[in-house]
Amino acid sequence: MSMCMAPENQRMSVTAILTETDRKRITGEADVPDDKRYQSVSRVRNRIQQIEQDVTTLEKHRPDLLEELREVVCDEE
């Protein structure tokens, strides 16, 4: 049960993983201290772990939704 990255041209803005603030901090667009960047990275890691749990739930209870998720984030080539 692995998640895949979508090609750059097929990525959509997913605030479930990155908030606008996290995105700006991680990319360096926001002028913040390093500890703020590390906080954003930590929050993103926590969200990824939650997504792993969600995938397990969808796999068991709604495989149709799991397939939709994979279509969005996986490169099927």
| Domain residue ranges in the chain | 13-73
* Residues 37-61 pLDDT 10s: 999 999 999 999 999 999 999 999 9
Q: Are 3 and 55 in contact (CB under 8 A)?
A: yes
Report d(CA 75, CA 15) in Å as an integer.
Answer: 20
Note the pLDDT of residue 13.
46
- Quick check: 14 pLDDT over 80? no
Note the pLDDT of residue 20.
92
- Its pTM stands at 0.66
